Amino acid sequence: MLVDNGVIGDSRVQKAARSAAEAGWEVVLLGRAPVGQPTSWRLGGAEVRLVPMPEPLAKRRHEFRRAWLRRPLAYPPSGIGAHRSQAMRAWRADLRVRRAVLTAASRESGVGRPGGLSWQVLRAEEKFAGLTRRWVSLRNRQLTQARRGRKLDGPWDRVYTLFWQKVRGGGAWRRLEPGLWDYELAYGPVVDELEPDLIHANDFRMIGVGARAKLRAAAEGRRIALVWDAHEYLPGVQPWRDNARWLPGNVAHEREYVPHADATMTVSGGLADLLRREHGLAERPAVVLNAPAVDELPADPAAPVPDIRTLCGLRPGIPLLVYSGVAAAKRGLGVMVEALPRLPEAHIALVVNKPESAYVKGLVGRAEELGAADRLHVLPYVPHHQVVRFLSGAQVGVIPIQHWPNHEIALITKFFEYSHARLPLVVSDVRTMAETVRETGQGEVFAAEDVTDFVRAVRAVLGDPARYRGAYDRPGLLAGWTWEAQAEALDAVYTRLLPGAPSRPAPDGDPAPGAAPASVGVGS
């Protein structure tokens, strides 16, 4: 299995690797080492390996050049500017200490004000240091301005993008997003060494790595089955980098290599239909929902599950609204904070990936301006097998995401986590999620980014929570929203692609006589 992150925090990938290993496949999950050193551990029966990945190609050539015409005084983009700034700070710190020593010596001798040659030399050096500091600051400002003026998002960059799209077509990513080669150069040799029977490539960056490994194996007379797991609709993604080339480059890369996939799976029925039309797939992708693994045993069964109300300092009965997930502007968290003055009895818990991020600090600052900072609680993630029980201490699960193409077509992970925690939901009117909530009756829908409508929805849910919780009593509803049900669909895809694979181990872990586990090394 291939993934472009450090595995920890990616619950879908972790669950897929673990459940595939439990089904008897030999699983090696390759991720990216966050600190440049190879790491490995066991995830249930799966082996996790994190590989180092240098990123020299992620930087564009202009980032190594000086802007002689636009900012002639700027430092070269080599790091020397930061070095000079730090050296200046060290010099000034030394001058302050020397001044303190001379001043203290003068007081002890009864002279009063310090003087003499040492003092005059120090004063002259201080003046020179002041001039040098201003010169260093000027050159660093010029460097910052030069970088700001070259973000790859101007008219020239749009022309550049269109030119290579016309000239290279689907291969334009090699010019527009050459950093994708960094993934190939890090992962490719490891994949070749493992010689897997099946590769499970997660999302748009890994489809190229998997497809190229498949092509190399075919040249050696080996067959690799390639599964592409599409987590989102790439053309509808908000670009991850602030430049005009990122999205066209990644879209071109995906389109070049998707035809090499033997099977495709994705996170929702709506996205499955969209991918089939977008890529002209022969069959509809299998749907494997981002549902929680409700029966998964934790690594340490004795480890206590944190209590969300205790962490917020709340006694029972006080209304607590919870948001769990990535903290970003497009997730719409601002509407929750703006609603606090209109919901004076309610508290909000934000269980987020980066509690100290600038965006989260901005939300806290806004709550302070509204006089409601004591009712906004920011909490870190808990281990994924604890999420459902952790969230169950709240009264309402909130999903305030804004209208983006990918938000319209999926039931996201937190939707299922809230559901298994049996929380009444308040969700924005993105299409698939709003339709589901209206059909099941498990919550209320509000117009995205509309504070007044959000307050109405919250009050409705808090006014009759038993009515909304009762929706979860529908026979089979929650049972279909479990990872255990999704793992069966995952296993069916692998089995169909490797019909001649050796017998897999029996559930007790003993292989069938004379057989070895199917080698699905980098797949699952």
Contacts for 348 with CB less than 8 Å, ≥ 6 apart: 320, 321, 322, 323, 336, 337, 340, 375, 376, 377, 398
- The answer as to whether 326 is a domain residue is yes
- The answer as to whether 293 is a domain residue is no
Q: Same domain, yes or no, for 240 and 375?
A: no
Range of the domain at 221: 11-59+154-287
Q: How far is 457 from 441, CA to CA, in rounded Å?
A: 13
Question: What's the pLDDT score for residue 509?
Answer: 43
Q: Same domain, yes or no, for 322 and 366?
A: yes
Q: Same domain, yes or no, for 263 and 143?
A: no
- The answer as to whether 404 is a domain residue is yes
Q: Same domain, yes or no, for 463 and 323?
A: yes
Helix axes 11-22, 483-497, angle to 10 degrees: 60
Contact predicate 366/337, CB 8 Å: yes
Q: How far is 391 from 23, CA to CA, in rounded Å?
A: 29
Question: What's the pLDDT score for residue 192?
Answer: 97
Q: Same domain, yes or no, for 270 and 408?
A: no
* Single residue among 148, 175, 194 that ends a domain in this structure: 148
- The answer as to whether 135 is a domain residue is yes
Q: Same domain, yes or no, for 54 and 113?
A: no
Q: Same domain, yes or no, for 469 and 442?
A: yes
Q: How far is 46 from 50, CA to CA, in rounded Å?
A: 13
Per-residue pLDDT of 54-86, as tens digits, reads 877 776 666 666 777 778 888 888 788 888 999
Q: How many CA atoms lie within 13 A of 353 on its CB side?
A: 9
Radius of gyration of the chain (CA): 28
Q: Same domain, yes or no, for 133 and 158?
A: no
- The answer as to whether 509 is a domain residue is no
* Single residue among 113, 148, 183 that ends a domain in this structure: 148
- The answer as to whether 89 is a domain residue is yes
Q: How far is 428 from 417, CA to CA, in rounded Å?
A: 17
Q: What is the CATH number of the domain that holds 15?
A: 3.40.50.2000
Q: Same domain, yes or no, for 274 and 182?
A: yes
Taking alpha carbons only, the member of 272, 242, 353, 244 closest to residue 11 is 353
Q: Same domain, yes or no, for 27 and 163?
A: yes
- The answer as to whether 333 is a domain residue is yes
Total domains in the chain come to 3
CA dihedral in degrees (102, 108, 113, 119; nearest 10)? -20
Q: Same domain, yes or no, for 99 and 15?
A: no
Q: In what order do the strands lie in the sheet with 286-287?
A: 198-202, 225-230, 263-266, 286-287
- The answer as to whether 468 is a domain residue is yes
Taking alpha carbons only, the member of 175, 185, 181 closest to residue 248 is 175
Q: For residue 327, what is the DSSP state?
A: -
Taking alpha carbons only, the member of 447, 415, 444 closest to residue 430 is 447
* Single residue among 130, 148, 166 that ends a domain in this structure: 148
Kindly give the parts of the chain with pLDDT less than 70.
59-65, 112, 147-154, 242, 295-302, 501-524
